[in-house]
């Protein structure tokens, strides 16, 4: 884009400041923001409230991010839709739309690839390629809404990438989707999932944005966690739990612990009891995820007896627990799988 800056990546406050510095009245920033984020405009020329002269001034320095839908896969089982998007530089990312009874939930990506190396995840196989800009993150929502002619009611940052490893752009994204001139989504309808970057959990708590924080725990001892999540070599479970308590105190929001049940690795009753002793007394919820059997990883899904046993143990101890329903199992909806498949089929 010839060194032009992306208007879609600015929060309203940033846009007003930039316009002011360029001698453009701040109310123009409100108009531009609204046309981009509410009216879904992708070309400066199309912002018809601006004069021709002003459009050309803005166009000299700026552009509007506009990712493209490459493919869409529709699940015949449950209405889940999986999108592959092509970015301006040819990189590919994926997002998922899940129609639930309580509204449309979009699961979106924050990075191309991921460097965290979780052993059960297909997104990390090639490492981190690059961070997504705030405009690229938010545009996944706009493209899904326009394609399906729906409003997205809930957003989960749980696609490819570790959101807290792309901290600044993710914070901008949160402010953009929450803005009332944009899609005006309440913070309570947004969930950010992290593998546990402890210092960034403190930073996020200090932002005092009441989003739901979701921790990918997946193990109940440091040794077990180190086997499946390299980040555990950097931060212990105790440090993560301490940071979560700080987050709860700051935001008064309930934390979700995500726990992928892996056959024979972390799914027996002892593991459930250890989990209980880690999180007891906290304002929290446990979401158990039966692992998707995917070819990129060596692990297998737990059997139904272990899944039920794990959930029952926690429930009996008074921990709010749910087992995540498998969505889109006929369309490779596990994080990173479709992108890998597309790239390997289209290589060379
Ligand atoms: S699970 Fe999340 S943090 Fe871990 S490798 Fe996959 S995308 Fe990265």
Reported as a single tens digit per residue, the pLDDT across 13-60 is 999 999 999 999 999 999 999 999 999 999 999 999 999 999 999 999
Q: Residue 348 — pLDDT band, cuts 50, 70, 90?
A: very low
Phi and psi angles of residue 338, each rounded to the nearest 5 degrees, phi first: -70, -40
340 within ligand 1 shell (Cβ under 6 A): no
Pairing state between β 92-100 and 81-86? antiparallel
Active site residue 335: yes
Active site residue 315: no
Residue with more model confidence, 288 or 330: 288
347 pLDDT higher than 60? no
330 pLDDT higher than 90? no
| Cα 40 to the center of its chain, rounded Å | 21
From ligand 1's centre to the CA of 85, what distance in Å?
19
Query: 235: closest CA among 222, 245, 249, 218?
Result: 222
Gyration radius from the chain CA atoms: 21
pLDDT for position 109: 97
Mutate which of 95, 116, 131, 233 for ligand 1? The one with the most ligand atoms within 8 Å of its CB, which is 116
Q: Residue 207 — pLDDT band, cuts 50, 70, 90?
A: very high
Which atom from ligand 1 is nearest to the alpha carbon of 159? 7
Which atom from ligand 1 is nearest to the alpha carbon of 165? 3
Which 3-state string (H, E, C) describes 37-85?
HCCCCCCHHHCCCCCHHHHHHHHHHEECCCCEEEEEEECCCCCCEEEEE
From ligand 1's centre to the CA of 18, what distance in Å?
35
| pLDDT tens profile 299-326 | 788 889 999 999 999 999 999 999 987 7
How many C-beta atoms lie closer than 10 Å to residue 336's C-beta? Answer: 24
CATH top-level class for 5-63?
mainly alpha
From ligand 1's centre to the CA of 239, what distance in Å?
19
Residue with more model confidence, 348 or 344: 344
Contact 159, 137 (CB under 8 A): no
Q: Residue 104 — pLDDT band, cuts 50, 70, 90?
A: very high
| pLDDT tens profile 156-184 | 999 999 999 999 999 999 999 999 999 99
Degrees, nearest 5: CA angle 328-77-161: 10
Domain with CATH 1.10.150.530 in the chain: 5-63
| Shortest-distance Cα residue to atom 3 of ligand 1 | 162
Contact 15, 166 (CB under 8 A): no
Which atom from ligand 1 is nearest to the alpha carbon of 117? 5
Q: What is the CATH number of domain 68-346?
A: 3.20.20.70
The Cα 22–Cα 19 span in angstroms is: 5
pLDDT for position 46: 97
163 within ligand 1 shell (Cβ under 6 A): no
- Bridge partners for 111 per DSSP: 131
92 within ligand 1 shell (Cβ under 6 A): no
CA dihedral sign, ordered 74, 75, 79, 83: negative
The Cα 21–Cα 54 span in angstroms is: 15
Domain with CATH 3.20.20.70 in the chain: 68-346
């Amino acid at each position: 884009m010839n060194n032009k800056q992306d208007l879609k990546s600015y929060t309203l406050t940033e846009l007003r400041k930039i316009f002011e510095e360029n001698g453009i009245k701040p109310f123009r920033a409100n108009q531009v923001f609204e046309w981009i984020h509410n009216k879904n405009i992708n070309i400066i020329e199309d912002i018809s409230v601006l004069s021709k002269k002003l459009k050309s001034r803005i166009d000299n320095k700026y552009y509007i991010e506009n990712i493209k839908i490459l493919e869409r896969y529709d699940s015949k089982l449950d209405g889940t839709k999986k999108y592959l998007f092509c970015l301006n530089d040819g990189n590919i990312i994926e997002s998922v739309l899940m129609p639930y009874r309580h509204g449309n939930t979009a699961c979106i990506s924050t990075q191309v690839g991921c460097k965290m190396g979780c052993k059960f995840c297909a997104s990390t196989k090639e490492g981190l390629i690059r961070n997504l800009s705030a405009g690229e993150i938010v545009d996944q929502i706009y493209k899904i809404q326009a394609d399906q002619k729906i409003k997205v009611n809930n957003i989960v940052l749980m696609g490819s990438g570790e959101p807290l490893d792309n901290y600044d752009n993710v914070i901008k994204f949160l402010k953009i989707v929450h803005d009332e001139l944009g899609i005006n989504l309440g913070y309570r309808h947004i969930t950010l999932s992290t593998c546990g970057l402890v210092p960034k959990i403190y930073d996020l708590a200090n932002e005092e944005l009441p989003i739901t924080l979701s921790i990918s725990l997946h193990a109940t001892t440091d040794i077990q966690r180190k086997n499946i999540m390299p980040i555990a070599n950097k931060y212990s479970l105790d440090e993560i739990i301490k940071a979560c308590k700080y987050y709860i105190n700051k935001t008064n929001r309930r934390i979700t612990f995500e726990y992928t049940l892996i056959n024979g690795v972390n799914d027996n009753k002892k593991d459930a009891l250890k989990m209980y002793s880690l999180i007891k007394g906290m304002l929290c919820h446990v979401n158990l995820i039966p692992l998707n059997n995917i070819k990129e990883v060596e692990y297998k899904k737990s059997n139904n007896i272990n899944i039920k046993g794990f959930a029952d143990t926690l429930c009996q101890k008074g921990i709010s627990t749910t087992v995540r329903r498998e969505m889109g199992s006929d369309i490779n909806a596990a994080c990173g799988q479709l992108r890998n498949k597309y790239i390997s089929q289209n290589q060379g």
